[in-house]
Chains A and B, each alone.
Chain A
């Protein structure tokens, strides 16, 4: 039970990480959001058999994580939550698509396996990029940037409140499960027969709590618009960060670097 409680209370680690002061954290939020968007677009634009072309994109999260001094384990743990979904999407590809294909000049696999691995890699990289963005920028600053990009107010608000509701919900789950564990004879988990009443109570409690938080926001002048204060000005370094990564992503998209290196090596060996 204590492990569960610890992991529940660790939910806010991304907020904590976003308050660090490193080279990456100091980059203007707008440039980080644009870089991440471009990265996601480039990843999604690869077709399902282009596994080798995706490989150089792995360097973006690795370099950012290293420069931002982010701990890898909490990020990977959060990614694991979504991983079953990604695996589920590509699970049957190896069974249905058995045509042999060349990945790299010296590796051959079936088309199904290649598309499965490509889906897996795409999923992992996109989630990692989103997590890295939140951990280096913070949700409130991301919301401010979305406002600058003229994203409709209602979407930004929805995003912010959902993000905040997750922590409210998880805190309530923690309390409810602890109270349950102290009075149940079971050593682990919640009995199936208690699930109904427990989730019902949880829903009511979190709604009540969310309502109180909303009231306290209204009492301080909240009228449906979130103001993050003045964000810092865009500096040359910020523009260089975006253009540097942008050029790299475009290069990776239109030029298959692993294949080129492979051809070069095999050419030299011949």
Chain B
């Protein structure tokens, strides 16, 4: 997996109740790309991300990370390479202290304790919460929890970072800090979000999903500025591209 290309071919998936969540998704994400996955509620964004880390397996179609197909046999390899940040950081922080939470992944790969400590410190330093190392995870604020959840994934040194709604339930300052943080990462990034302003800032490429299908895949600036398309997909243009709410002046495109 020297080049971390993600190849998704004709991905189809139905939930046990029969609801078709993904209905033939195709795309390719190249090494170092930053891609936004956008769509209305229930469009299939989270289901797609779950497939990328092998939490769900497709009914039809295939996914490959590098040359490795995402199947049960290859999961340890895939999960070392693809790090997933879940929508609710509480799902990701289940140990007592922040240190133990961040060390959980590296310890599972049986790294020596000195290396584990080095990785934990480095991951916490990257997200700016090294001082919270010995704090109890459940007592952190929303922003701190989000940073800790990202650190738990960074400690695994993944090549690809997959994030589900990373800016949800963050206050404006924490959101801004998160955006600055993510901008510094050189990883391949896949971000599913309703925060279109964040997608516009962080991702050069956007994929819009509707009813389990890719509607459009292209440069973020062009797609998110297309009012008609956004409207058709049940979305809105990012606030920074909309007109002034006070005087009604349209933003220059």
Contact = CB atoms under 8 A, between A and B. Distances in A.
B113 A16 contact: no
A213 B88 CA distance: 10
Contacts of A215: 50, 55, 86, 91
Contacts of A243: none
A173 B115 CA distance: 39
A270 interface: no
Given A219-B84, A221-B80, A229-B116, A164 B94 contact: yes
A229 B116 CA distance: 9
B55 A220 contact: no
Nearest to A209: B91
Nearest to B97: A19
Bin the interface of chain B by size.
20 to 34
A110 interface: no
Interface stretch (B60-68, B101-109, B173-181, B205-213): B101-109
Interface residues of A, number: 25
B108 A140 contact: no
B95 interface: yes
Contacts, number: 68
B23 interface: no
Nearest to B99: A229
B79 A213 contact: no
Interface in A199-254: 209, 212-213, 215-223, 225, 227-230
Nearest to A164: B94
B80 A212 contact: no
Interface SS of chain A: helix
B100 A218 contact: no
B53 A220 contact: no
Contacts of B105: 220-221
B197 interface: no
B66 to A, nearest CB: 18
A15 B93 CA distance: 14
Given A12-B138, A19-B97, A229-B113, A216 B107 contact: no
B113 A220 contact: no
